[in-house]
Structure 1
Protein backbone atom coordinates (compact mmCIF):
# COMPACT_ATOMS: atom_id res chain seq x y z
CA UNK A 1 0.00 0.00 0.00
CA UNK A 2 2.70 2.48 1.02
CA UNK A 3 4.83 1.54 -2.00
CA UNK A 4 1.87 2.12 -4.32
CA UNK A 5 1.24 5.53 -2.75
CA UNK A 6 4.93 6.37 -3.02
CA UNK A 7 4.92 5.64 -6.75
CA UNK A 8 1.82 7.76 -7.26
CA UNK A 9 3.33 10.56 -5.22
CA UNK A 10 6.45 10.61 -7.40
CA UNK A 11 4.29 10.53 -10.55
CA UNK A 12 2.29 13.46 -9.20
CA UNK A 13 5.59 15.23 -8.49
CA UNK A 14 6.62 14.76 -12.11
CA UNK A 15 3.25 16.12 -13.23
CA UNK A 16 3.75 19.15 -10.98
CA UNK A 17 7.28 19.82 -12.24
CA UNK A 18 6.15 20.38 -15.85
CA UNK A 19 3.83 23.39 -15.32
CA UNK A 20 6.24 24.72 -12.68
CA UNK A 21 9.02 24.68 -15.29
CA UNK A 22 6.80 26.56 -17.75
CA UNK A 23 5.85 29.11 -15.07
CA UNK A 24 9.46 29.60 -13.96
CA UNK A 25 10.63 30.00 -17.55
CA UNK A 26 8.00 32.60 -18.42
CA UNK A 27 7.79 34.51 -15.13
CA UNK A 28 10.91 33.75 -13.12
CA UNK A 29 13.66 33.95 -15.74
CA UNK A 30 13.08 37.63 -16.65
CA UNK A 31 13.47 38.62 -13.00
CA UNK A 32 16.53 36.41 -12.62
CA UNK A 33 18.06 38.01 -15.70
CA UNK A 34 17.42 41.42 -14.14
CA UNK A 35 19.47 40.43 -11.10
CA UNK A 36 22.28 39.12 -13.32
CA UNK A 37 22.25 42.37 -15.31
CA UNK A 38 22.62 44.37 -12.09
CA UNK A 39 25.51 42.11 -11.08
CA UNK A 40 27.18 42.70 -14.44
CA UNK A 41 26.81 46.48 -14.02
CA UNK A 42 28.53 46.30 -10.63
CA UNK A 43 31.34 44.19 -12.07
CA UNK A 44 31.85 46.64 -14.94
CA UNK A 45 31.83 49.63 -12.58
CA UNK A 46 34.45 48.04 -10.33
CA UNK A 47 36.57 46.97 -13.30
CA UNK A 48 36.36 43.28 -12.39
CA UNK A 49 35.31 40.90 -15.13
CA UNK A 50 32.81 38.31 -14.09
CA UNK A 51 33.89 34.69 -14.24
CA UNK A 52 32.54 32.62 -17.07
CA UNK A 53 30.06 30.07 -15.68
CA UNK A 54 30.85 26.39 -16.16
CA UNK A 55 27.37 25.95 -17.64
CA UNK A 56 25.97 28.58 -19.97
CA UNK A 57 22.90 30.59 -19.00
CA UNK A 58 21.03 29.04 -21.90
CA UNK A 59 21.50 25.55 -20.45
CA UNK A 60 20.86 26.74 -16.90
CA UNK A 61 17.55 28.39 -17.80
CA UNK A 62 16.22 25.45 -19.84
CA UNK A 63 17.61 21.98 -19.25
CA UNK A 64 19.14 22.79 -15.87
CA UNK A 65 15.95 24.37 -14.57
CA UNK A 66 13.85 21.47 -15.86
CA UNK A 67 16.07 18.79 -14.29
CA UNK A 68 16.19 20.64 -10.96
CA UNK A 69 12.40 20.99 -10.83
CA UNK A 70 11.95 17.35 -11.86
CA UNK A 71 14.17 16.13 -9.03
CA UNK A 72 12.48 18.49 -6.59
CA UNK A 73 9.01 17.38 -7.72
CA UNK A 74 9.84 13.68 -7.35
CA UNK A 75 11.32 14.22 -3.88
CA UNK A 76 8.43 16.35 -2.64
CA UNK A 77 5.91 13.97 -4.21
CA UNK A 78 7.44 11.00 -2.41
CA UNK A 79 7.40 12.77 0.96
CA UNK A 80 3.86 13.98 0.26
CA UNK A 81 2.72 10.39 -0.34
CA UNK A 82 4.25 9.21 2.94
CA UNK A 83 2.54 11.99 4.88
CA UNK A 84 -0.74 11.19 3.10
CA UNK A 85 -0.42 7.54 4.14
CA UNK A 86 0.03 8.69 7.76
CA UNK A 87 -2.91 11.12 7.90
CA UNK A 88 -5.53 9.65 5.56
CA UNK A 89 -8.56 8.55 7.53
CA UNK A 90 -7.38 10.43 10.62
CA UNK A 91 -8.41 13.95 9.53
CA UNK A 92 -12.18 13.82 9.68
CA UNK A 93 -14.13 11.95 7.04
CA UNK A 94 -12.47 13.47 4.02
CA UNK A 95 -12.32 11.73 0.67
CA UNK A 96 -8.92 10.91 -0.88
CA UNK A 97 -9.17 13.96 -3.16
CA UNK A 98 -10.12 16.27 -0.29
CA UNK A 99 -7.39 14.84 1.96
CA UNK A 100 -4.81 15.39 -0.77
CA UNK A 101 -6.01 18.95 -1.39
CA UNK A 102 -5.98 19.86 2.31
CA UNK A 103 -2.55 18.27 2.75
CA UNK A 104 -1.16 20.19 -0.25
CA UNK A 105 -2.57 23.48 1.03
CA UNK A 106 -1.14 22.84 4.48
CA UNK A 107 2.22 21.78 3.04
CA UNK A 108 2.47 24.94 0.97
CA UNK A 109 1.72 27.13 4.00
CA UNK A 110 4.01 25.29 6.43
CA UNK A 111 6.94 24.43 4.15
CA UNK A 112 6.93 27.39 1.75
CA UNK A 113 4.83 30.39 2.76
CA UNK A 114 5.69 30.79 6.46
CA UNK A 115 9.50 30.51 6.02
CA UNK A 116 9.21 32.74 2.93
CA UNK A 117 7.49 35.50 4.90
CA UNK A 118 10.51 35.72 7.20
CA UNK A 119 13.25 34.91 4.69
CA UNK A 120 12.06 35.62 1.13
CA UNK A 121 14.13 34.51 -1.82
CA UNK A 122 16.55 36.96 -3.39
CA UNK A 123 17.87 37.29 -6.96
CA UNK A 124 21.60 37.45 -7.73
CA UNK A 125 23.56 40.46 -6.42
CA UNK A 126 20.87 41.37 -3.90
CA UNK A 127 22.67 39.71 -0.97
CA UNK A 128 26.24 39.61 0.33
CA UNK A 129 28.11 36.42 -0.54
CA UNK A 130 29.78 36.18 2.87
CA UNK A 131 26.42 35.88 4.67
CA UNK A 132 25.11 32.91 2.69
CA UNK A 133 25.95 30.49 5.50
CA UNK A 134 24.05 32.52 8.07
CA UNK A 135 21.10 33.06 5.76
CA UNK A 136 20.90 29.37 4.89
CA UNK A 137 21.13 28.35 8.52
CA UNK A 138 18.41 30.69 9.76
CA UNK A 139 16.13 29.71 6.87
CA UNK A 140 16.55 26.00 7.60
CA UNK A 141 15.91 26.64 11.29
CA UNK A 142 12.71 28.51 10.41
CA UNK A 143 11.66 25.64 8.12
CA UNK A 144 12.33 22.92 10.71
CA UNK A 145 10.50 24.86 13.41
CA UNK A 146 7.55 25.48 11.10
CA UNK A 147 7.23 21.76 10.36
CA UNK A 148 7.69 20.83 14.02
CA UNK A 149 5.07 23.30 15.24
CA UNK A 150 2.68 22.13 12.50
CA UNK A 151 3.12 18.50 13.61
CA UNK A 152 2.44 19.55 17.21
CA UNK A 153 -0.69 21.43 16.11
CA UNK A 154 -1.89 18.39 14.15
CA UNK A 155 -1.31 16.22 17.23
CA UNK A 156 -3.26 18.62 19.44
CA UNK A 157 -6.12 19.13 16.98
CA UNK A 158 -8.03 15.86 17.68
CA UNK A 159 -7.85 16.54 21.42
CA UNK A 160 -9.14 20.07 20.92
CA UNK A 161 -11.88 18.76 18.63
CA UNK A 162 -12.98 16.27 21.29
CA UNK A 163 -13.27 19.09 23.81
CA UNK A 164 -14.47 22.08 21.78
CA UNK A 165 -16.03 20.53 18.66
CA UNK A 166 -14.71 20.10 15.09
CA UNK A 167 -14.75 23.74 13.96
CA UNK A 168 -13.44 25.29 17.19
CA UNK A 169 -10.86 22.54 17.67
CA UNK A 170 -9.23 22.97 14.27
CA UNK A 171 -9.39 26.76 14.51
CA UNK A 172 -7.64 26.67 17.88
CA UNK A 173 -4.96 24.33 16.52
CA UNK A 174 -4.36 26.59 13.52
CA UNK A 175 -4.34 29.68 15.74
CA UNK A 176 -1.78 28.03 18.02
CA UNK A 177 0.47 27.40 15.02
CA UNK A 178 0.16 31.01 13.88
CA UNK A 179 0.91 32.42 17.34
CA UNK A 180 3.95 30.20 17.94
CA UNK A 181 5.41 30.85 14.48
CA UNK A 182 4.83 34.58 14.87
CA UNK A 183 6.92 34.49 18.04
CA UNK A 184 9.58 32.37 16.31
CA UNK A 185 9.70 34.81 13.39
CA UNK A 186 10.08 37.75 15.75
CA UNK A 187 12.93 36.09 17.65
CA UNK A 188 14.96 34.92 14.65
CA UNK A 189 17.36 37.50 13.17
CA UNK A 190 16.28 39.56 10.19
CA UNK A 191 18.50 39.60 7.11
CA UNK A 192 18.25 43.01 5.40
CA UNK A 193 21.24 43.50 3.14
CA UNK A 194 19.77 44.33 -0.26
CA UNK A 195 21.62 47.31 -1.77
CA UNK A 196 19.65 50.53 -1.75
CA UNK A 197 20.03 50.96 -5.50
CA UNK A 198 18.95 47.41 -6.37
CA UNK A 199 15.93 47.59 -8.73
CA UNK A 200 12.83 47.19 -6.57
CA UNK A 201 10.84 45.82 -9.50
CA UNK A 202 13.37 43.03 -10.06
CA UNK A 203 13.31 42.11 -6.38
CA UNK A 204 9.51 42.08 -6.25
CA UNK A 205 9.11 40.15 -9.49
CA UNK A 206 11.69 37.54 -8.46
CA UNK A 207 10.05 36.91 -5.10
CA UNK A 208 6.60 36.84 -6.68
CA UNK A 209 7.81 34.34 -9.29
CA UNK A 210 9.44 32.11 -6.67
CA UNK A 211 6.31 32.00 -4.55
CA UNK A 212 4.15 31.46 -7.62
CA UNK A 213 6.29 28.57 -8.82
CA UNK A 214 5.94 26.79 -5.49
CA UNK A 215 2.21 27.47 -5.50
CA UNK A 216 1.98 25.76 -8.90
CA UNK A 217 4.00 22.78 -7.66
CA UNK A 218 1.94 22.22 -4.52
CA UNK A 219 -1.37 22.93 -6.26
CA UNK A 220 -0.78 20.50 -9.12
CA UNK A 221 0.73 17.95 -6.73
CA UNK A 222 -2.34 17.96 -4.50
CA UNK A 223 -4.79 17.75 -7.39
CA UNK A 224 -2.93 15.10 -9.41
CA UNK A 225 -2.13 12.90 -6.40
CA UNK A 226 -5.74 13.13 -5.24
CA UNK A 227 -6.93 12.08 -8.70
CA UNK A 228 -4.55 9.12 -8.76
CA UNK A 229 -5.45 7.73 -5.35
CA UNK A 230 -9.16 8.42 -5.84
CA UNK A 231 -9.08 6.55 -9.16
CA UNK A 232 -7.42 3.58 -7.49
CA UNK A 233 -10.05 3.60 -4.76
CA UNK A 234 -12.88 3.68 -7.27
CA UNK A 235 -11.47 0.75 -9.21
CA UNK A 236 -10.93 -1.20 -6.02
CA UNK A 237 -14.50 -0.58 -4.88
CA UNK A 238 -15.83 -1.52 -8.32
CA UNK A 239 -14.00 -4.86 -8.25
CA UNK A 240 -15.27 -5.54 -4.75
CA UNK A 241 -18.86 -4.72 -5.66
CA UNK A 242 -18.83 -6.68 -8.93
CA UNK A 243 -21.15 -9.71 -8.73
CA UNK A 244 -19.57 -13.11 -9.00
CA UNK A 245 -19.97 -14.77 -12.39
CA UNK A 246 -21.61 -18.22 -12.00
CA UNK A 247 -19.65 -21.10 -13.49
Structure 2
Protein backbone atom coordinates (compact mmCIF):
# COMPACT_ATOMS: atom_id res chain seq x y z
CA UNK A 1 0.00 0.00 0.00
CA UNK A 2 1.72 3.14 -1.24
CA UNK A 3 1.23 6.75 -0.19
CA UNK A 4 -0.14 7.40 -3.68
CA UNK A 5 -2.87 4.80 -3.11
CA UNK A 6 -3.81 6.48 0.17
CA UNK A 7 -3.84 9.92 -1.45
CA UNK A 8 -6.02 8.89 -4.40
CA UNK A 9 -8.56 7.22 -2.13
CA UNK A 10 -8.48 10.22 0.16
CA UNK A 11 -9.34 12.51 -2.75
CA UNK A 12 -12.18 10.20 -3.78
CA UNK A 13 -13.50 10.10 -0.23
CA UNK A 14 -13.23 13.89 -0.08
CA UNK A 15 -15.26 14.24 -3.25
CA UNK A 16 -18.02 12.06 -1.82
CA UNK A 17 -17.89 13.95 1.48
CA UNK A 18 -18.12 17.26 -0.38
CA UNK A 19 -21.26 16.17 -2.20
CA UNK A 20 -22.85 14.93 1.02
CA UNK A 21 -21.90 18.14 2.80
CA UNK A 22 -23.45 20.23 0.04
CA UNK A 23 -26.75 18.38 0.34
CA UNK A 24 -26.85 18.75 4.13
CA UNK A 25 -25.74 22.39 4.09
CA UNK A 26 -28.27 23.26 1.39
CA UNK A 27 -31.17 21.53 3.10
CA UNK A 28 -30.34 22.14 6.76
CA UNK A 29 -28.20 25.28 6.85
CA UNK A 30 -29.34 27.52 4.02
CA UNK A 31 -32.89 28.13 5.35
CA UNK A 32 -31.39 29.65 8.51
CA UNK A 33 -28.94 31.71 6.45
CA UNK A 34 -31.89 33.10 4.49
CA UNK A 35 -33.65 33.99 7.73
CA UNK A 36 -30.54 35.76 9.03
CA UNK A 37 -30.12 37.70 5.78
CA UNK A 38 -33.76 38.79 5.91
CA UNK A 39 -33.24 40.05 9.46
CA UNK A 40 -30.07 41.88 8.41
CA UNK A 41 -31.80 43.55 5.48
CA UNK A 42 -34.78 44.53 7.62
CA UNK A 43 -32.46 46.07 10.20
CA UNK A 44 -30.57 48.01 7.54
CA UNK A 45 -33.74 49.23 5.85
CA UNK A 46 -35.25 50.74 9.00
CA UNK A 47 -32.53 53.39 9.62
CA UNK A 48 -32.47 54.24 5.91
CA UNK A 49 -36.21 54.89 5.87
CA UNK A 50 -35.92 56.93 9.05
CA UNK A 51 -33.16 59.11 7.55
CA UNK A 52 -35.13 59.58 4.34
CA UNK A 53 -38.20 60.74 6.25
CA UNK A 54 -36.13 63.23 8.25
CA UNK A 55 -34.59 64.61 5.07
CA UNK A 56 -37.99 65.18 3.48
CA UNK A 57 -39.18 66.90 6.63
CA UNK A 58 -36.21 69.29 6.42
CA UNK A 59 -36.99 70.04 2.78
CA UNK A 60 -33.95 68.17 1.43
CA UNK A 61 -33.94 65.30 -0.98
CA UNK A 62 -31.12 62.84 -1.68
CA UNK A 63 -30.50 60.87 -4.82
CA UNK A 64 -28.77 57.53 -4.37
CA UNK A 65 -26.85 56.27 -7.35
CA UNK A 66 -25.59 52.72 -7.51
CA UNK A 67 -22.78 52.85 -9.98
CA UNK A 68 -20.49 50.04 -10.99
CA UNK A 69 -17.66 49.95 -8.46
CA UNK A 70 -15.73 47.33 -10.39
CA UNK A 71 -16.83 44.47 -8.15
CA UNK A 72 -18.58 41.30 -9.21
CA UNK A 73 -21.99 40.68 -7.74
CA UNK A 74 -23.04 37.09 -7.07
CA UNK A 75 -26.72 36.41 -6.62
CA UNK A 76 -28.01 34.49 -3.62
CA UNK A 77 -29.26 31.75 -5.95
CA UNK A 78 -25.71 31.23 -7.20
CA UNK A 79 -24.27 31.47 -3.69
CA UNK A 80 -26.58 28.82 -2.25
CA UNK A 81 -26.20 26.43 -5.21
CA UNK A 82 -23.08 26.50 -7.37
CA UNK A 83 -21.10 28.60 -4.94
CA UNK A 84 -21.92 26.33 -2.02
CA UNK A 85 -21.22 23.22 -4.10
CA UNK A 86 -17.84 24.58 -5.19
CA UNK A 87 -16.91 25.38 -1.59
CA UNK A 88 -17.93 22.02 -0.16
CA UNK A 89 -16.19 20.08 -2.93
CA UNK A 90 -13.01 22.11 -2.55
CA UNK A 91 -12.90 21.69 1.22
CA UNK A 92 -13.90 18.03 1.00
CA UNK A 93 -11.22 17.12 -1.53
CA UNK A 94 -8.55 19.09 0.37
CA UNK A 95 -9.43 17.43 3.66
CA UNK A 96 -9.61 14.06 1.94
CA UNK A 97 -6.13 14.44 0.52
CA UNK A 98 -4.67 15.47 3.88
CA UNK A 99 -6.51 12.72 5.72
CA UNK A 100 -5.31 10.15 3.18
CA UNK A 101 -1.69 11.15 3.67
CA UNK A 102 -2.02 11.16 7.46
CA UNK A 103 -3.68 7.73 7.31
CA UNK A 104 -0.73 6.52 5.25
CA UNK A 105 1.66 7.83 7.88
CA UNK A 106 -0.04 6.08 10.81
CA UNK A 107 -1.00 2.82 9.07
CA UNK A 108 0.51 -0.11 10.97
CA UNK A 109 2.00 2.16 13.63
CA UNK A 110 -0.82 2.30 16.19
CA UNK A 111 -0.68 -0.95 18.09
CA UNK A 112 -2.61 -3.73 16.41
CA UNK A 113 -5.09 -1.47 14.66
CA UNK A 114 -5.90 -2.35 11.09
CA UNK A 115 -5.85 0.23 8.32
CA UNK A 116 -9.60 0.62 8.65
CA UNK A 117 -9.36 1.24 12.39
CA UNK A 118 -6.38 3.60 12.27
CA UNK A 119 -8.01 5.62 9.47
CA UNK A 120 -11.23 5.90 11.45
CA UNK A 121 -9.21 7.02 14.48
CA UNK A 122 -7.48 9.71 12.42
CA UNK A 123 -10.86 10.96 11.19
CA UNK A 124 -12.24 11.14 14.73
CA UNK A 125 -9.18 12.99 16.05
CA UNK A 126 -9.34 15.34 13.06
CA UNK A 127 -13.01 16.14 13.59
CA UNK A 128 -12.60 16.79 17.30
CA UNK A 129 -9.38 18.83 17.14
CA UNK A 130 -9.87 20.63 13.83
CA UNK A 131 -13.62 21.28 13.82
CA UNK A 132 -15.54 20.52 17.00
CA UNK A 133 -13.36 22.00 19.76
CA UNK A 134 -12.57 25.26 17.87
CA UNK A 135 -16.28 25.55 17.12
CA UNK A 136 -17.13 25.27 20.81
CA UNK A 137 -14.84 28.22 21.58
CA UNK A 138 -15.65 30.32 18.51
CA UNK A 139 -18.95 29.09 17.06
CA UNK A 140 -20.09 30.02 13.58
CA UNK A 141 -22.23 33.14 13.32
CA UNK A 142 -24.87 33.96 10.72
CA UNK A 143 -25.11 37.22 8.75
CA UNK A 144 -25.94 40.30 10.88
CA UNK A 145 -23.95 38.89 13.83
CA UNK A 146 -20.51 40.30 14.60
CA UNK A 147 -18.82 43.66 14.13
CA UNK A 148 -17.12 44.09 10.74
CA UNK A 149 -14.34 46.10 12.42
CA UNK A 150 -13.27 43.12 14.54
CA UNK A 151 -13.36 40.43 11.87
CA UNK A 152 -9.58 40.39 11.54
CA UNK A 153 -9.03 39.95 15.27
CA UNK A 154 -11.74 37.32 15.53
CA UNK A 155 -10.28 35.36 12.61
CA UNK A 156 -6.82 35.47 14.16
CA UNK A 157 -8.14 34.25 17.52
CA UNK A 158 -10.01 31.40 15.85
CA UNK A 159 -7.03 30.14 13.88
CA UNK A 160 -4.76 30.57 16.89
CA UNK A 161 -7.01 28.40 19.04
CA UNK A 162 -7.41 25.91 16.19
CA UNK A 163 -3.61 25.64 15.95
CA UNK A 164 -3.33 24.95 19.66
CA UNK A 165 -6.02 22.28 19.44
CA UNK A 166 -4.52 20.49 16.44
CA UNK A 167 -0.93 20.62 17.72
CA UNK A 168 -2.01 19.31 21.13
CA UNK A 169 -3.96 16.47 19.52
CA UNK A 170 -1.05 15.49 17.26
CA UNK A 171 1.59 15.59 20.00
CA UNK A 172 -0.53 13.69 22.50
CA UNK A 173 -1.43 11.07 19.89
CA UNK A 174 2.25 10.52 19.08
CA UNK A 175 3.05 10.29 22.78
CA UNK A 176 0.18 7.86 23.35
CA UNK A 177 1.40 5.60 20.55
CA UNK A 178 4.87 5.47 22.09
CA UNK A 179 3.51 4.70 25.55
CA UNK A 180 1.02 2.12 24.27
CA UNK A 181 3.27 -0.97 24.65
CA UNK A 182 4.17 -0.04 28.23
CA UNK A 183 0.86 1.03 29.74
CA UNK A 184 -1.82 -0.54 27.54
CA UNK A 185 -4.55 0.90 25.36
CA UNK A 186 -7.03 1.88 28.09
CA UNK A 187 -4.64 3.81 30.32
CA UNK A 188 -2.97 5.53 27.39
CA UNK A 189 -6.28 6.54 25.81
CA UNK A 190 -7.70 7.94 29.04
CA UNK A 191 -4.47 9.82 29.77
CA UNK A 192 -4.22 11.32 26.30
CA UNK A 193 -7.86 12.44 26.27
CA UNK A 194 -7.54 13.96 29.75
CA UNK A 195 -4.34 15.79 28.81
CA UNK A 196 -5.94 17.13 25.63
CA UNK A 197 -8.96 18.39 27.55
CA UNK A 198 -6.68 20.17 30.04
CA UNK A 199 -4.75 21.87 27.24
CA UNK A 200 -7.80 23.09 25.30
CA UNK A 201 -9.68 24.18 28.42
CA UNK A 202 -6.72 26.22 29.66
CA UNK A 203 -6.16 27.65 26.17
CA UNK A 204 -9.85 28.43 25.89
CA UNK A 205 -9.69 30.45 29.08
CA UNK A 206 -6.64 32.34 27.85
CA UNK A 207 -7.96 33.22 24.41
CA UNK A 208 -10.34 36.21 24.30
CA UNK A 209 -14.08 35.67 24.33
CA UNK A 210 -16.18 37.04 21.47
CA UNK A 211 -19.60 38.37 22.41
CA UNK A 212 -21.04 40.33 19.50
CA UNK A 213 -24.47 38.75 19.18
CA UNK A 214 -26.37 41.84 20.28
CA UNK A 215 -30.16 41.59 20.04
CA UNK A 216 -30.09 38.94 17.30
CA UNK A 217 -32.91 36.38 17.84
CA UNK A 218 -31.62 33.54 20.00
CA UNK A 219 -33.65 30.85 18.23
CA UNK A 220 -32.28 31.74 14.78
CA UNK A 221 -28.73 31.81 16.17
CA UNK A 222 -29.19 28.41 17.82
CA UNK A 223 -30.65 26.80 14.68
CA UNK A 224 -27.84 28.21 12.55
CA UNK A 225 -25.11 26.94 14.86
CA UNK A 226 -26.77 23.58 15.21
CA UNK A 227 -26.91 23.28 11.43
CA UNK A 228 -23.22 24.24 11.25
CA UNK A 229 -22.27 21.41 13.62
CA UNK A 230 -24.39 18.95 11.65
CA UNK A 231 -22.65 20.05 8.45
CA UNK A 232 -19.18 19.63 9.97
CA UNK A 233 -20.10 16.22 11.35
CA UNK A 234 -21.37 15.17 7.94
CA UNK A 235 -18.10 16.13 6.26
CA UNK A 236 -15.89 14.23 8.68
CA UNK A 237 -18.13 11.19 9.15
CA UNK A 238 -18.60 10.58 5.43
CA UNK A 239 -14.92 11.24 4.82
CA UNK A 240 -13.85 8.80 7.54
CA UNK A 241 -16.30 6.06 6.61
CA UNK A 242 -15.61 6.18 2.87
CA UNK A 243 -11.84 6.40 3.23
CA UNK A 244 -11.69 3.64 5.84
CA UNK A 245 -13.82 1.45 3.58
CA UNK A 246 -11.69 2.09 0.49
CA UNK A 247 -8.41 1.52 2.31
CA UNK A 248 -9.74 -1.54 4.09
CA UNK A 249 -10.80 -3.05 0.79
CA UNK A 250 -7.38 -2.31 -0.67
CA UNK A 251 -5.69 -3.97 2.29
CA UNK A 252 -7.91 -7.04 1.93
CA UNK A 253 -7.07 -7.31 -1.77
CA UNK A 254 -3.33 -7.03 -1.13
CA UNK A 255 -3.54 -9.56 1.71
CA UNK A 256 -5.28 -12.07 -0.55
CA UNK A 257 -2.73 -11.45 -3.31
CA UNK A 258 0.16 -11.94 -0.87
CA UNK A 259 -1.35 -15.17 0.44
CA UNK A 260 -1.74 -16.50 -3.09
CA UNK A 261 1.89 -15.69 -3.87
CA UNK A 262 3.04 -17.37 -0.67
CA UNK A 263 0.97 -20.44 -1.46
CA UNK A 264 2.29 -20.60 -5.00
CA UNK A 265 5.86 -20.27 -3.76
CA UNK A 266 5.38 -23.12 -1.27
CA UNK A 267 4.21 -25.58 -3.92
Where does residue 25 of structure 2 map in the other structure?
24
Tell me by how many angstroms 1:16 deviates.
0.6
SS in 2 for 1:214: helix
Tell me by how many angstroms 1:162 deviates.
4.2
In structure 2, how many angstroms separate the alpha carbons of the residues matched to 1:78 and 1:66? 18
1:184 aligned onto 2:203: yes
CA contact (8 A) 1:160 1:170 kept: no
Tell me by how many angstroms 1:32 deviates.
0.5
Where does residue 175 of structure 2 map in the other structure?
156
Larger mean Cα displacement after TM superposition, 97-106 or 175-184: 97-106
In structure 2, how many angstroms separate the alpha carbons of the residues matched to 1:117 and 1:136? 15
In structure 1, how many angstroms separate the alpha carbons of the residues matched to 2:197 and 2:245? 30
Larger mean Cα displacement after TM superposition, 66-75 or 99-108: 99-108
Where does residue 35 of structure 1 map in the other structure?
36
Where does residue 202 of structure 1 map in the other structure?
220
In structure 2, how many angstroms separate the alpha carbons of the residues matched to 1:92 and 1:237? 19
SS in 2 for 1:148: helix
Where does residue 117 of structure 2 map in the other structure?
98
* 1:140-190 Cα distance to aligned partner (Å, 9 max, x none): 000111111111211221344344332111210111010011000001000
Q: How many residues align?
A: 243
**TM-score, reference length from structure 1:** 0.93
Measured at CA, do residues 161 and 4 of structure 1 come closer, stay the same or move farther in structure 2, by a change above 3 Å? closer
> Gapped runs of 5+ residues in structure 1?
none
In structure 2, how many angstroms separate the alpha carbons of the residues matched to 1:59 and 1:137? 29
Tell me by how many angstroms 1:84 deviates.
0.7
In structure 2, how many angstroms separate the alpha carbons of the residues matched to 1:167 and 1:4? 32
Measured at CA, do residues 174 and 133 of structure 1 come closer, stay the same or move farther in structure 2, by a change above 3 Å? same
Tell me by how many angstroms 1:53 deviates.
7.3
1:90-169 aligned within 5 A: 90-169=109-188
CA contact (8 A) 2:138 2:210 kept: yes
Tell me by how many angstroms 1:244 deviates.
4.1
Tell me by how many angstroms 1:234 deviates.
1.4
Instruction: Decide which structure has the larger Cα Rg and report it.
Output: 2
Where does residue 221 of structure 1 map in the other structure?
239
CA contact (8 A) 2:107 2:115 kept: yes
